[in-house]
Amino acid sequence: MSTHTKGVIAFDISKNESFELSDNYKMLHRKLKTHYQVEQIDGELKKEKLTRVDLFVLAGPQDRFTEEEFQVLKEFINNGGKLLVLLGEGGETQFNTNVNFFLEQYGIYINSDTVLRPHYYKNTHPKECVIGGGVVCDSMWRYLIKQEGRVDKVDYDFSEQKYQIQFQYPYGATLNVSEPANVLLTTGPVVYPFNRPLACYYLNAESDGKILAIGSGYMWHDKYFHRNKTNETILDYFLLLLIGNEITFTHLDFNDVEINDHKSFMDIAFVADIPKACLIDSIGSDIPTDFKQMFDMTLCTLSNHLLNNVIDAYTLLNVKYESLKIIKPQFEIPLPPLQLTTFPTVFSEPSAPPLELYDLDEVFSSARSQLAYMAGKCIQAVQVRDPRKPVNLRELENYIKECARITAVIHEGQDMPAYEILNTIAHQIVNYKPYLDE
């Protein structure tokens, strides 16, 4: 694909991506640029933009793709390109995108759900899951086991080595995977929902085009990048799989993969409040097919239809009717000391100020240099502009205002229309009288 000595990895930034190299993928960017040429692609996806790209990354898109853009991605895969798709919890519903429309034709679908760990383990939040036994591809877990010192393992022994590997999967969703795609990672036997796909892989045997879809882009987020060593090793494995072409699979790698059906859980908190007082009625009779019939929805009601019977009961029992009063409690046994019922919250440290975003040459350069830079930038924009389209007056107005700010025609923060700026400059030129030496 590429004629460069380094492979080209391009991140799409045209769909308001959640994960950006300049924001929350700084550590990932620092790691990638040591071995690869990292770029960003903005604007509408076109075939020309992907001709020199080895790996194209959709890191949490939050806008919808057009049919033409999906066709460009399809041709990219058919021509041997590699695509990495990352989302998060909630899937398409949360991210407001339509990437599943493209992935479904390859047997991949990212669900609109969330992966949870039901009990505390290393992280306080249940969505910051640490998954053990989730690497189900044989060649993948064998590769990870050999990486001594670069893989986190559980504290207790398992009969099978693949259950010793654990990795971080924060704020992620599950996937539905069918042929021709294959499952690489699952939730395992501990995390809800059990044994559901988290990462899958597709290979076009004719063109060597590849797709890797993962339900959590937070795996390599700056907050979690160095928290789990296995995640960084998994990243290296995926890069070898996509770009390095050093890893190949056989049908034996996916033979012993246990996948449960995708089920959606109902509102457990609501159902827990409305059980029947006794299920004696079900004895001797068949349990209904619809389990909802075993719950009495009429128990949780508020009404005054028994108020008269309660008042009449005072007369029948010769009990004086009076309003209830609060009885002050008398504690003879001291109360035990109070203890926290949850683990204390761990607050994240604020990120450092993005000083690298400032261009020092632009800030401290002279007015003449700044004007030359603005003129060159404007000329370049005119040369690449489509002559069939009208001139963008807004860009021209911004150019005039910026030049006026550089030459101190207007003050910093002062807003003046472009025609007034040109009028002011014209008056200064007309009234200009050079002082000649006598």
- Residue 274 pLDDT greater than 80, yes or no: no
Mean pLDDT of 250-262: 72
Mean pLDDT of 378-396: 74
Tally of CB atoms within 10 A around 205: 7
- C-alpha to C-alpha distance for 198 and 134, rounded to whole angstroms: 9
- Residue 338 pLDDT greater than 50, yes or no: yes
pLDDT of the residue at 349 = 81
The model's pTM: 0.59
pLDDT of the residue at 147 = 76
What does the mean pLDDT of the chain come to? 79
What are the φ/ψ torsions at residue 292 (nearest 5 degrees)?
-65, -20
- Amino acid in position 338: L
- C-alpha to C-alpha distance for 56 and 39, rounded to whole angstroms: 10
pLDDT of the residue at 85 = 92
Mean pLDDT of 207-227: 87
Domains and CATH numbers, the chain: 8-254 (3.40.50.880), 355-429 (no CATH)
Residues 132-179: tens digit of each pLDDT: 878 888 788 788 888 777 777 776 655 566 677 888 888 889 998 888
Lowest mean pLDDT among 1-5, 237-241, 284-288, 372-376: 1-5
pLDDT of the residue at 380 = 79
Confidence of residue 3 (pLDDT cuts 50, 70, 90): very low
pLDDT of the residue at 214 = 92
Please say whether the beta carbons of 152 and 103 come within 8 A: no
Higher pLDDT, 364 or 15: 15
Lowest mean pLDDT among 29-33, 279-283, 362-366: 279-283
Percent of the chain with pLDDT over 70: 80
Residues 45-88: tens digit of each pLDDT: 888 888 888 899 998 898 898 899 899 999 999 888 889 999 98
What does the block give as tokens for 405?
């700010």
Confidence of residue 359 (pLDDT cuts 50, 70, 90): low
Task: Say which DSSP state 254 is in.
Answer: G
Percent of the chain with pLDDT over 90: 4
Higher pLDDT, 248 or 17: 17
pLDDT of the residue at 2 = 38
pLDDT of the residue at 438 = 45
Please say whether the beta carbons of 418 and 401 come within 8 A: yes
Length of the chain, in residues: 438
Q: What is the largest CA-CA distance in the chain?
A: 126
- Residue 121 pLDDT greater than 80, yes or no: no
Please say whether the beta carbons of 92 and 48 come within 8 A: no
The Cα-based distances of 379 to 320, 372, 396, 403 in angstroms read 97, 11, 11, 14
Confidence of residue 327 (pLDDT cuts 50, 70, 90): confident
pLDDT of the residue at 84 = 92
What does the block give as tokens for 428?
């200064």
Burial of 234 (0-12, 13-18, 19+ CB in 10 A): buried
- C-alpha to C-alpha distance for 36 and 5, rounded to whole angstroms: 9
Confidence of residue 1 (pLDDT cuts 50, 70, 90): very low
- Amino acid in position 178: S
Please say whether the beta carbons of 17 and 40 come within 8 A: no
- Residue 277 pLDDT greater than 60, yes or no: no
